[in-house]
Structure 1
Amino acid sequence: MKRGIGFIVAVCIGLLLQSCFVKTSPNMAFIHKGDISRDAEVVSVKVPGILMRTFILGELREMKEEDPMLAMALKKIKSIKLTAIEGEKGHRLHERFTNYLADQQFEELMSIYSDGAKVSINTLTKGDRIKKIMLGVVDNEDQVFIELKSNMSLSELNQLVDHYETTKGKEKKDKKKSKSEDLAFAK
Structure 2
Amino acid sequence: MKTFKNIILIICMLGLMQSCIVSEKPNIAYFSESGRDFKGAKFTSINVPMLLAKPYIRKALREDGESEDVIRLASKVSKIKVMTVENSNPKLLKDFSDYLLDNHYEDWATIKHEGEQVNIRVKQKTDVIKNMLITVNSDKEIILVDVKGNFTADDISKMIASASDK
Q: Map 1:40-55 to 2 at 5 A.
A: 40-55=41-56
Instruction: Give the structure with higher Rg (CA).
Output: 1
Cα distance in 1, alignment partners of residues 92 and 55 from structure 2? 33
1:35 to 37, 40, 46: 37
- Deviation >6 Å, runs of 4+: none
Normalising by structure 1, report the TM-score.
Answer: 0.68
User: Structure 2 unaligned runs (5+)?
Assistant: none
Match of 2:122 in 1: 123
RMSD: 3.4
Match of 1:110 in 2: 109
Which of 1 and 2 has higher RCO (CA within 8 Å, sep 6+)?
2
**Count of matched residue positions in the alignment of Structure 1 and Structure 2:** 164
State whether residues 31 and 96 of structure 1, in contact with CA within 8 Å, keep that contact through their aligned partners in structure 2: no
CA-to-aligned-CA distance 1:57-77 (integer Å, 9 cap, x gap): 5x27956x8621221222222
Identity within the alignment, %: 25
SS in 2 for 1:15: helix
Normalising by structure 2, report the TM-score.
Answer: 0.75
Cα distance in 1, alignment partners of residues 139 and 123 from structure 2? 27
**Greater strand content:** 2
Cα distance in 1, alignment partners of residues 153 and 114 from structure 2? 30
**Greater helix content:** 1
CA-to-aligned-CA distance 1:49-90 (integer Å, 9 cap, x gap): 211124345x27956x862122122222222211112222x2
Match of 1:8 in 2: 8
Cα distance in 2, alignment partners of residues 13 and 77 from structure 1? 21
State whether residues 134 and 147 of structure 1, in contact with CA within 8 Å, keep that contact through their aligned partners in structure 2: yes
Q: Relative to 1, partners in 2 of residues 1:77 and 1:116: Cα closer, same or farther, differing over 3 Å?
A: same
Cα distance in 1, alignment partners of residues 61 and 116 from structure 2? 36
User: Structure 1 unaligned runs (5+)?
Assistant: 172-187
